[in-house]
Structure 1
Amino acid sequence: MSQEGPGDLDRVFKALGNETRRRILRFLAQRAHYPYELSTMLGLTPRGVFKHLESLQKAGLVEREHGESDLGPDRVYYRLNVRFGLSTTILPDSFVVRLTRHGRTGRIVIPQGFVIPEARPDVAAVRRLLRELGKVNRRLSDLDEERMRFASLRGKIIRQIEIIMDEAQWDEESCQKVRTLLDPVRQQMDESIEEEAWTSTAQEALQLFERMFSSQAQQLKKKKSSQEKEEEFVVDLEK
């Protein structure tokens, strides 16, 4: 399974559908933890934590690593092993599941205008951290609203493509090929690769339409030719 993104979205959604597993991921986002440590933090038995970690590992979200312990033998730690963004947008005219993958060694640049205040044990430092966190939350909210608008726009554009296929009376297999090509799930390393991948996808979809339109044109031509021959035959009989 890829280290930059999950290989099975169904397993990912199933893993994320449990509150305890989401809490585990929040803890692991801070640093690696060993199971007994997590069981204490969660108020669960080690056996229960192991089951949740197993589900997260099968989904490709965490991995195991051995680490030293001051109290005895080495411990098995769990940590996050993926870097990806997963968003789901559900609207009356659109359903979009989008996966954005980031390189494992790639550095995620802090957006312009934002900073990470220094962690110091005083009220002023906490105030700065909370102020910056508020700015980030507002920006994320704005991005969510913008994503919703674009998801709706995407749905309307897809509907136009569906109308073309409906009016052309395409068979379901051909329609499904186009729908599969236009599936919004993406597992890309960066924007340049994503743009390249979309160009290839668009070309492939366009080729499908060209073949279908060409095939339909030939069928219409044959049908017209056949009708003309029938008309000529009728005229000859009348003579």
Structure 2
Amino acid sequence: MGCEVVAGLDEALSILQNKARRSILERLVREPHYPLQLADQIGISQQAVMKHLKLLESAGFVVKMKAASNKGGPPKNIYSVQQAISIRIDLGPDLFQCSQRILPAGGPLKLSNRLKGDVVKVAEIVSGRKKIGVGEGAHHLSAISEAIEKLDYERDALIALHQQIKQRVSSTVDSDFDSYEQRLVIHNILESPRSNFNFKEFARELQLGAEASERLMDEVRSRVVRQLAERSGQFIAGSQTIELPWWAALGIDPKGSP
């Protein structure tokens, strides 16, 4: 077995866009397959299957092992899935999120520490057991699928709410910020409000010099403060050198008052 390689998001998307490779993975997650088996089931040549498997292996999606031949011949390569990931794409007006998450490792008991509700009991029941009957397994999988559907239902609503808020903010940004660069600064902040905005990296991407970068940031600060003052009905004063806290840029009162 080779060393583990985790494909990046762009590489993963590039690999999974191919229908034949998705068909290969769909079969390999069930049980290991020989290349000839895959060729017969998918309906493409063994040479094409080997080409896809080589790409999947280099990206860490699958791993090959030597398996003894039932007919007494030399061992043959057999392939199985190695990488466990989740790829999420949310797309719509004022909405684009694309991320890849590595699924947590560990047995059922360890995973139960990250779970809530009835599925915790499922994890506890199957913990330490190497084999589970088909009937019992179907029952547990049904409970987990139901829990996932509930989470997805709530997540869909949260994503839609995120989109609705972003649309309302975008209309304000369009009216209050004149230049494309100003609006881009605000949108970058809004897309990751819990992270520090790397303005130096942003300026480098736009190929802005030091003077232009400083002028752009001053303009954004001035407009955000003015917007905050207009909407709060209060005067806000400060020197030009004062650092604008990002809770102010987002229009949030740190005291929690309306």
Contact map agreement 1:62 1:78 (CA 8 A) in 2: no
Give 3-state SS (helix, strand or coil) of 2:120's partner. coil
Decide whether aligned partners of structure 1 residues 164 and 112 sit closer, same or farther in structure 2, where only a CA change above 3 A counts.
same
Contact map agreement 1:28 1:79 (CA 8 A) in 2: yes
1:67 and 1:85 map into 2 onto residues whose CA distance is 28
- In the alignment, what sits opposite 2:90? 89
1:204 and 2:197 correspond: yes
Contact map agreement 1:94 1:155 (CA 8 A) in 2: yes
Contact map agreement 1:84 1:102 (CA 8 A) in 2: yes
Give 3-state SS (helix, strand or coil) of 1:113's partner. helix
Contact map agreement 1:4 1:101 (CA 8 A) in 2: no
% same residue: 19
1:107 and 1:173 map into 2 onto residues whose CA distance is 49
| Unaligned 5+ runs, structure 1 | 185-197, 219-239
Give 3-state SS (helix, strand or coil) of 1:97's partner. strand
1:139 and 1:97 map into 2 onto residues whose CA distance is 23
1:136 and 1:31 map into 2 onto residues whose CA distance is 21
Give 3-state SS (helix, strand or coil) of 1:21's partner. helix
1:69 and 1:63 map into 2 onto residues whose CA distance is 19
1:76 and 1:182 map into 2 onto residues whose CA distance is 50
More helix by percentage: 1
Offset at residue 211 of structure 1 (A): 4.4
Letter in 1 for 2:66: G
1:36 and 1:79 map into 2 onto residues whose CA distance is 14
Give 3-state SS (helix, strand or coil) of 2:157's partner. helix
> In angstroms, what is the RMSD of aligned CA positions?
4.0
Contact map agreement 2:188 2:197 (CA 8 A) in 1: no
Decide whether aligned partners of structure 1 residues 154 and 107 sit closer, same or farther in structure 2, where only a CA change above 3 A counts.
farther
Contact map agreement 1:4 1:84 (CA 8 A) in 2: no
1:147 and 2:152 correspond: no
Contact map agreement 2:32 2:80 (CA 8 A) in 1: yes
Decide whether aligned partners of structure 1 residues 163 and 50 sit closer, same or farther in structure 2, where only a CA change above 3 A counts.
same
Contact map agreement 1:63 1:80 (CA 8 A) in 2: yes
1:213 and 1:177 map into 2 onto residues whose CA distance is 8
Structure 1 residues 140-149 or 126-135, which shifts more?
126-135
Contact map agreement 1:66 1:77 (CA 8 A) in 2: yes
Contact map agreement 1:87 1:98 (CA 8 A) in 2: yes
Offset at residue 170 of structure 1 (A): 4.3
For the pair shown, which has the larger CA radius of gyration, 1 or 2?
1
How many positions carry a matched residue from both structures?
Answer: 195
Question: 1:127-206 maps to which residues of 2 (within 5 A)?
Answer: 127-179=135-187, 199=194, 201=195, 203-204=196-197
- In the alignment, what sits opposite 1:98? 99
Decide whether aligned partners of structure 1 residues 180 and 146 sit closer, same or farther in structure 2, where only a CA change above 3 A counts.
same
2:218 and 2:83 map into 1 onto residues whose CA distance is 40
Contact map agreement 2:63 2:82 (CA 8 A) in 1: no
Offset at residue 149 of structure 1 (A): 0.5
Letter in 2 for 1:29: V
Give 3-state SS (helix, strand or coil) of 2:97's partner. strand
TM-score (norm 2): 0.56
Offset at residue 36 of structure 1 (A): 2.7
- In the alignment, what sits opposite 1:62? 61
User: Any idea what the Cα deviations from partners look like across 1:171-193, whole Å, max 9, x if unmatched?
Assistant: 22343355456658xxxxxxxxx
Offset at residue 67 of structure 1 (A): 2.8
Decide whether aligned partners of structure 1 residues 65 and 134 sit closer, same or farther in structure 2, where only a CA change above 3 A counts.
closer
